[in-house]
A and B are shown apart, each in its own frame.
Chain A
């Protein structure tokens, strides 16, 4: 069953603009992760945020986590054409040894 659900399913913006994607999940978590997948490639880890953290930054990426609302957002600032990809949130459902549960992803297109 799907734990995380991304919103929107697709997003198209102009280069240089900021892109925001959201993820909602159902059960309590230890951590939440965001991954990027370029077309035809494997997933690449972007950032991990722990359940006791509210915000985390990595370069042009900013992730927030609101455990009371069971939601997270990924902000990409000053977008570039190379940011065109699908973005997935992944949660652990409160477990540990089990694999992650991925959402269906947000497909981001950066228009030059």
Chain B
């Protein structure tokens, strides 16, 4: 099993550009989530999904969109990149709600917005 994979590993954008961060898992997990990690801030939840077709907002959803058309994939879209979105983005999945189950994290995408 590859676990949770994320692409790209690094990305540089200009302000106003849009892009999609890809996340896929091969463990048949229903629950998937996106976090951002900023220096000194810990991880903050952006969006999460409890199954295909179901998504909801986390703590910091503004400027991001998600969709979940399949169990395996959970892409994160930046609509119009801003310097404040410079961060490291992590995708995670779990076999059930995260509060009761181990979350498996991807390796992260380091995004810089100029």
A binding-site residues for B, Cβ under 8 Å: 1-2, 29-31, 33, 35, 40-45, 48, 88, 92, 95-105
How many cross-chain pairs have Cβ atoms below 8 Å apart between A and B? 71
* The 4 residue pairs across chains A and B that have the minimum distance between CB atoms: A92-B99, A42-B105, A99-B45, A45-B102
Contact of B43 among A1, A40, A41, A88 (CB under 8 A): A88
Task: Answer whether residue B40 sits at the interface, using C-beta atoms and an 8 A cutoff.
Answer: yes
Whether A105 pairs with B42 at a CB distance below 8 angstroms is yes
- Interchain CA distance A40-B10 in the complex, whole Å: 12
Contact B43 A45 (CB under 8 A): no
Give the complex CA separation of A43 and B92 in angstroms: 9
Chain A residues near B92: list those with CB within 8 A: 43, 99
Q: Are B42 and A99 in contact (CB under 8 A)?
A: no
Query: Which B residues are in CB contact (< 8 Å) with A1?
Result: 59
Provide the bound-state CA to CA distance between A41 and B102, in Å. 17
Query: Footprint of A on B, CB under 8 Å?
Result: 4, 33, 35, 40-45, 48, 50, 56, 58-59, 90, 92, 97-108
A residues near B98, Cβ cutoff 8 Å: 92, 98-100
Find chain B residues with CB under 8 A from A45 CB.
102-104
A98 in contact with B48 (CB, 8 Å) = yes
Q: Are the C-beta atoms of B59 and A30 separated by less than 8 Å?
A: no
B97 touches A96 (CB 8 A): yes
B contact residues around A102 at 8 Å (CB) = 35, 42-44
Q: Across the interface, do B102 and A42 meet the contact criterion of CB distance under 8 Å?
A: no
Question: B15 → chain A, closest Cβ, in Å?
Answer: 26
Contacts of A103 in B (CB 8 A): 42
Q: CB distance A43 to B100 under 8 Å?
A: no
Residues of chain B within 8 A (CB-CB) of A104 are 40-42
Cross-chain contact B90 with A100 (CB below 8 angstroms) = no
Q: Are A30 and B42 in contact (CB under 8 A)?
A: no
Contact B35 A99 (CB under 8 A): yes
